Amino acid sequence: MIWLIGVLFVLILLGTPIAFALGSVTILGIVLSDADLLINVPRQIFGGINNFTLVAVPLFILAGELMTQGGISKRLINFSKTLVGPLPGGLAMVVILASMFFSALTGTAIAAAAAIGGMMIPAMDREGYDKRFSASIVATSSTIGPIIPPSIVLILYGVIASVSIGDLFIAGVLPGILMGLGLMIYSYFVGKKEGYRASDRRATFKEIIVGAKDAVLALVMPIIIIGGIVSGVFTATESGVIAVVYAILIGMFVYKEITIKDFWPILLQTAKTTATIIFLIGTASLFIWFLSFNSIPNQLLDMLGPVADNPILLLLLINVILLIAGTFIDTISAVSIFTPLFLPLALAAGVDPIHFGIILSVNLTIGMVTPPLGVCLFVTSSIAKITVPKMFKYLFPQVGVLILVLIIVTYIPELILFPVELFVD
């Protein structure tokens, strides 16, 4: 039955929606092995989505939509300018810093790429930045979104792997910061070489305080979410409710950039996105059940031989496979496919499931900025009005920085597990 995995990837390459590909391959496998097991199909799909933790998915999607519409990005960009604007490559650093702040509010890369890119790419163009650099740095910095909590990718992994969402959120903070710092260092050297500078003077302490006051209501939300989870005041799922209520209060009554008439399109977009993800989770659950029922992870272990017993080689092989797969499979779908395939192998090699979840997430988010899929590339290229291939000159070094962070995350597990042990204990 292991050949069915090959059929799955053929269907994906042919353009079949991932949820339908997962469901079709699983049903085909059941029919060929024991047609009587078809009775389990609706039961497994329903069982996969009948999970209280999944309530967090539509809640964080809704919170992200509200934050995007509520004027948050504008205030975060202005605050970021006061912090790093005068440095070489200052506006690029503003993009990265704003993306890190914005990511901590929405948890998605596409939202960050659209919101930050829509404001910053034209601004960078006016300051003489190369459009190819501007579009690529907005795209790569947006990948921090699914790593810094709250993160829909980490929620999905946690549900599939039966791992604490709160622990995953804590573990994602340092890797997200590393990704941002790596891109900022790269931008500094590019800015110095090309003479990119946003302003000639540094912001005064008073200007920094004023900027912080304007953005503080946006910046405090991730602190409330993480603090509440760590302290045990509320669960990761309940934090989604806090995020939505907070976003409504700030957007409607403080910043006053959301009105009642804005709610219908926001709710409609949230429903569409949620329905897609939930259906995918249902078919992924069916696929996971089929893999376990037929002992396919054990068959993979036997195929890998000595590699499966060596965590260094195993993680290297998994990373290579995921980097390739991430170029043509979107992140949410890839988590649904590869978690049940690779998590048993990682556990057998002694890799902590929290550590593996962060490796998986960092790896697959890099796929959001690698062709041919690279959805964030298409978002920023459309804003900059250039083709994706023109971005390659600056894109590939930036992806190289992200891969370097991936290597650090992969082979220094203490970086991931120490914060979890510190806060949980």
Range of weakest confidence among 326-330, 344-348, 415-419: 326-330
Q: How many CB atoms lie within 10 A of CB 223?
A: 10
Q: Give dist(CA 51, CA 221) in Å, integer.
A: 25
182 vs 148, residue with greater confidence:
182
pLDDT at 23 over 80: yes
Task: Note the pLDDT tens digit of each residue in 377-396.
Answer: 877 888 888 888 888 888 99
- For residue 307, give the nearest of 354, 348, 352, 355 by alpha carbon: 348
- For residue 213, give the nearest of 102, 82, 67, 68 by alpha carbon: 82
Count structural domains, the chain: 1
Host domain of residue 374: 3-424
* Proportion of the chain above pLDDT 90, given as a percent: 11
Q: Average pLDDT, stretch 86-115?
A: 71
Q: Average pLDDT, stretch 145-159?
A: 82
Q: Give dist(CA 324, CA 264) in Å, integer.
A: 39
Q: Average pLDDT, stretch 405-424?
A: 87
Residue with tokens 């790093």: 84
Tokens at 111, concatenated: 């939202």
Q: How many CB atoms lie within 10 A of CB 246?
A: 20
Q: Give dist(CA 308, CA 349) in Å, integer.
A: 6
pLDDT at 143 over 80: yes
Contact 230, 420 (CB under 8 A): no
